[in-house]
Amino acid sequence: MEKAYFTASGAAGLLPLAKDGATAYVIVRGAHASETECKAAEELKKYLGQITGAAFPLAADDAPLLAREIVVGKTNRGGITAEEEKELGEDGFVIRTEGERLYLIGGSVNGTLYAVYGFLEDYLGCRFYTGTFEKIPAHPTVFLSPIEEDKQIPTFLIRTIYWRIVLGDPVLAAKRKVNNDRTVYAWPGGCHTLAFLAGTGGGCGPDPCLSDEKTFTDVLAAAKKSLSEKPGANRISLSQSDGGEGAACHCPRCMERVEKYGWSGHYLLFVNRVADALKDEYPDLLIHTFAYSFTKEPPKGGVRAADNVFVQICTDSSCFAHPLTECREPVDFPAMLSAWGKVCNYMSLWDYTINFPGYLFPFPNWAALRPNARLFAENNVKTLFEQGVYGGWKNGEFDYLRVYLLCRLAWDPFMTDEQYYGYMDEFLADFYGPGWRHIRAYIDYTTRIVQKDHIRMYTPMHAEVYAPRIAPSRRVPKDMRLDANMLRAFREVDWDKYADYGGLTVKPHEFIVNGYKYFEDAASEAETDEQRRQITRSSLQLDFMKSHWLHDRMWIGEKNLRSLFADAVKEQIDAGALGEEEGTALCADFDGYIGPKLRADYAAYNRALAERMLAYDCPDFKEAWSLHNPPLDELHFEEYPTNQNDRPAWF
């Protein structure tokens, strides 16, 4: 995927960065360079050394001018105009050559560091995939073609990829050009703060009465107190709780305002009022609020966000199987985004890239990621927040691949489909080895399955998408009929064969069987232990799906198999093959056998799964509230399989 700008043989007009492991170039930075610019120069020296084997000297710009220099950051060597410097902002950069001099110059914060990493990736073929896995090519001789200008300015001012992989690794974040919202919030936690500030509750509410004057004075006082305790803060959140409409105040005064302005307008009027009271004392402060859950629809009655208020619009109820521009159920998100753009000057976007019922569930949103990023960019979204696996989790389904693509899209949301899938294939080939095409085939397989349906962030994937419930015939085929001898020897019967009979049930996963084959084929072609490890790590998603099938087999199967057994006993009694007393005793014995057996199978599988998950950095589930099987927080194996109170709401 790198640009064809270097060659291993010299020609007129090329820059001879290195030849046969030696170099005549010097890396030059400013004598008073910033910490980031110094880091950029050091990183360039390190990676150029790894690529070419040459030792590139470092010098400050107070050293004598040389013909062959790689100029890093702002120096007295020129390479950028004052107008361009302003254009680059904080994170933009420009790469260009003048004669035999190469310039890597960036904006005021991270731009120069991004210029270095961008040059290494785009021109020399380096790839920074994870914090521990990089591809650094070996080119002892590098002749660089002239670069008239390569100017890159990010569309999104703030690019937060809220996945632990990059969230907790600032070095990888810099290499992936992710700045992870470096602004400072006055309130810890950043969002869902109104209930905290008003003293009415916590992150899930209840929210205060926004029509009560005391709420305004309490929130304003609490906001000022928080700002005074964090003198460097440039943002504060005044946002609804995470408890939905039920956590909002429904008093007559509030509902009158809701009727006139909508829920979002009702909240926004309150936020605007606090923002107005803070703007003189804190002129650089931005106030954050949500368009989320019941406040997603834009306000009515002419309400708009104040100039110092920014609105973060959430994709929480959207479908993630299809691009937002194609799938408008239940929300016409493009129309909603456009409407919000007319009532606020600064839009932020909170997007969801994970499945909350299970971080390891297959969640094939691959076809939606690129067009969605473009939609956000085209609608003047200024900050992007991609919700993923965070907290204690270190593993989610295809987490490394998804983070890699999300980072690239956050920097370049206008890439083509060819570029997007090119980056995907390149990652798969380097990460999984020669068998990568089987992994890509699996991704395509899961993507095809979800195209016929909608998937949302709370879709229980194992039940609704990959293994939908069926209502099969209660009639057992003749060759599977349970005769009297089989009933007497019920402990020897393979009861999984009867899963499709006895009423409403869950069909065993054809998807799981097919899925494992892709990973097995990939592993059979792996060349290294690390490739095999990553293939196995990614296949945990199928182990996780199987656990959920076993859960449904346990809770639904026990009831159905008892019914099936009782029907068969009655049939044999009516046929004279069993006596009533023997049949009654058999039913009692079977009832005491099948439930404990299914629960024991389930618990044993999950104990083994827990060990595998811990071995691959999956210590807990954290936010996956509706998960209903071990391994869970602290791995409560023994009590959990029989704890019916923890069954999810969709049962």
User: What average pLDDT is seen over the chain?
Assistant: 89
Please tell me the distance from the alpha carbon of residue 484 to that of residue 490, in angstroms, as a whole number: 10
Are 311 and 290 in contact by the 8 Å Cβ rule? The answer is yes
Please tell me the distance from the alpha carbon of residue 408 to that of residue 155, in angstroms, as a whole number: 12
For the segment 332-342, the average pLDDT, to the nearest whole number, is 96
Question: Quick one: which of 160, 334, 343, 154 has its CA closest to 235?
Answer: 160
Q: Could you tell me if 194 and 170 lie in one domain? A: no
pLDDT value at residue 363: 93
pLDDT value at residue 1: 45
Among 175-179, 234-238, 338-342, 510-514, which stretch is predicted with the lowest mean pLDDT? 510-514
2-55: per-residue pLDDT in tens?
Answer: 454 666 666 778 999 999 999 999 999 999 999 999 999 999 999 999 999 999
Please check whether residue 531 lies inside any domain of the structure.
Answer: no
Q: Could you tell me if 482 and 356 lie in one domain? A: no
Please check whether residue 1 lies inside any domain of the structure.
Answer: no
Structural tokens at position 541: 């998603």
More confident residue, 508 or 607: 607
Domain's final residue, options 366, 396, 423: 423
According to DSSP, the residues that pair with 58 across neighbouring strands are 27
Q: Could you tell me if 171 and 190 lie in one domain? A: no
Please tell me the distance from the alpha carbon of residue 400 to that of residue 403, in angstroms, as a whole number: 5
Are 504 and 469 in contact by the 8 Å Cβ rule? The answer is yes
Is 80 exceeded by the pLDDT of residue 137?
yes
pLDDT value at residue 636: 37
Please tell me the distance from the alpha carbon of residue 21 to that of residue 495, in angstroms, as a whole number: 68
CATH of the domain at 28: 3.30.379.10
Please tell me the distance from the alpha carbon of residue 252 to that of residue 221, in angstroms, as a whole number: 26
More confident residue, 620 or 579: 579
For the segment 339-358, the average pLDDT, to the nearest whole number, is 93
Q: Could you tell me if 246 and 140 lie in one domain? A: no
Strand order in the sheet with 6-7: 6-7, 142-144, 15-18
Question: Quick one: which of 511, 543, 356, 527 has its CA closest to 447?
Answer: 511
**199: how many CB neighbours lie within 10 A of its CB?**
11
Please tell me the distance from the alpha carbon of residue 305 to that of residue 78, in angstroms, as a whole number: 42
Is 60 exceeded by the pLDDT of residue 633?
no
> What's the domain range around 487?
467-505+537-646
pLDDT value at residue 579: 96
Residue 138 pLDDT level (bands cut at 50, 70, 90)? very high
Distance of CA 388 to the CA centre of its chain: 3
How many domains is the chain built from?
4
Please tell me the distance from the alpha carbon of residue 137 to that of residue 125, in angstroms, as a whole number: 7
pLDDT value at residue 53: 98
Among 24-33, 171-180, 491-500, 627-636, which stretch is predicted with the lowest mean pLDDT? 627-636
**639: how many CB neighbours lie within 10 A of its CB?**
9
pLDDT value at residue 629: 41
Is 90 exceeded by the pLDDT of residue 576?
yes
For the segment 588-609, the average pLDDT, to the nearest whole number, is 86
- C-alpha radius of gyration, the chain, whole number: 30
Angle between helices 366-378 and 417-432 (to 10 degrees): 140
pLDDT value at residue 471: 60
Q: Could you tell me if 414 and 281 lie in one domain? A: no
For the segment 212-224, the average pLDDT, to the nearest whole number, is 97
Q: Could you tell me if 56 and 144 lie in one domain? A: yes
Domain's final residue, options 367, 393, 423: 423
Among 76-80, 220-224, 484-488, 623-627, which stretch is predicted with the lowest mean pLDDT? 623-627
Among 252-256, 358-362, 436-440, 612-616, which stretch is predicted with the lowest mean pLDDT? 612-616
Please tell me the distance from the alpha carbon of residue 398 to that of residue 413, in angstroms, as a whole number: 21
Q: Could you tell me if 124 and 190 lie in one domain? A: no
Please tell me the distance from the alpha carbon of residue 125 to that of residue 84, in angstroms, as a whole number: 27
Is 50 exceeded by the pLDDT of residue 624?
no
Please check whether residue 458 lies inside any domain of the structure.
Answer: no
More confident residue, 37 or 508: 37
423-451: per-residue pLDDT in tens?
Answer: 999 999 999 999 999 999 999 999 999 99
pLDDT value at residue 289: 97
Residue type, 151: K
Q: Could you tell me if 176 and 189 lie in one domain? A: no
Express the helix, strand and coil content of the chain in percent, nearest 5 each. 45, 10, 40
More confident residue, 511 or 548: 511
Torsion sign over Cα 330, 335, 338, 342: negative
Question: Quick one: which of 37, 257, 282, 45 has its CA closest to 184?
Answer: 282
Q: Could you tell me if 168 and 214 lie in one domain? A: no
Q: What is the pTM of this model?
A: 0.91
Q: Could you tell me if 606 and 624 lie in one domain? A: yes
Is 50 exceeded by the pLDDT of residue 622?
no
Q: Could you tell me if 30 and 75 lie in one domain? A: yes
Using DSSP, state whether 468 is helix, strand or coil.
coil
